[in-house]
Each structure stands twice: as structure tokens, then as C-alpha cells.
């Protein structure tokens, strides 16, 4: 629909596969970090240090995502999509940062 790969040479199939792999692994890492955070917070085997480390790591990951959206915006074909994505990334970052703040100040 967005014709994202139209700028890549049709014979560069490895490049398309590499881009897809990076997108999948990055998206999967965000989901897995979120699941691990939930398991650490609600599990009875974790300690405060491990929770802080995971929340800090995930906060940095999401802040990096926000920075990339500001520097190299995705969805720039539609301002609604571009700023909607930025808003969603900021909300996710704030969720983790606020959680980290609460755990650290407890």
C-alpha cells in the first residue's frame, strides 16, 4: 500500500529481507521487553534491582524510538500517521519512565 520498497533495486532481495528482519526483531524486542517487565513486576522471584534494570532498559529503548521518530519520521506521507505514531511512542515511553520513577522512589 505504501510502496516502501519501490526505491530499492528489484534484484536486491537480500536488502529487502534484511530490512524486514530488522523490523521484525526490533518489534519483537519491544514486545518481549514489555512481557519481561510484567513478569518481573508481578512475579515473586524478582527483586527490586532486576525490576529497575529492566524498566530502565525498556525506557531507553522507547526513548530511542521516540528520538528516531523525531529525527527520521516514519509515516511522513500522512501527517496524521506520522504524529499519531510519535504520540503513541511518547505515551509508551512515559508509561515506562513513570513506572521506573515509581519503583525507584518506593
Supply the pLDDT for residue 27. Answer: 85
Residue bearing the bigger pLDDT, 66 or 18: 66
Supply the pLDDT for residue 2. Answer: 63
Helices 48-71 and 79-105, axial angle in degrees (round to 10) = 160
Alpha carbons 51 and 91: distance in angstroms, whole number: 20
Supply the pLDDT for residue 42. Answer: 87
pTM listed for this prediction: 0.74
Q: Answer for the pair 95, 75: CB distance below 8 angstroms, yes or no.
A: no
Tell the burial category of 62 from Cβ atoms under 10 Å away from its Cβ (0-12, 13-18, 19+).
buried
Q: What is the pLDDT of residues 39-90, one digit of tens each?
A: 888 888 888 898 899 999 999 999 999 999 999 888 777 889 899 999 999 9
Alpha carbons 79 and 63: distance in angstroms, whole number: 21
Supply the pLDDT for residue 96. Answer: 93
Amino acid at each position: 500500500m505504501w510502496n516502501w520498497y519501490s526505491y530499492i533495486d528489484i534484484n536486491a532481495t537480500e536488502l529487502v529481507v534484511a530490512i524486514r528482519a530488522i523490523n521484525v526483531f526490533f518489534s519483537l524486542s519491544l514486545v518481549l521487553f514489555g512481557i519481561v517487565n510484567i513478569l518481573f513486576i508481578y512475579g515473586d522471584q524478582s527483586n527490586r534491582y532486576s525490576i529497575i534494570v529492566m524498566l530502565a532498559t525498556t525506557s531507553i529503548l522507547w526513548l530511542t524510538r521516540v528520538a528516531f521518530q523525531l529525527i527520521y519520521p516514519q509515516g511522513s506521507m500522512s501527517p496524521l500517521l506520522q504524529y499519531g505514531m510519535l504520540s503513541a511512542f511518547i505515551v509508551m515511553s512515559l508509561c515506562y519512565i513513570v513506572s521506573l520513577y515509581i519503583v525507584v522512589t518506593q
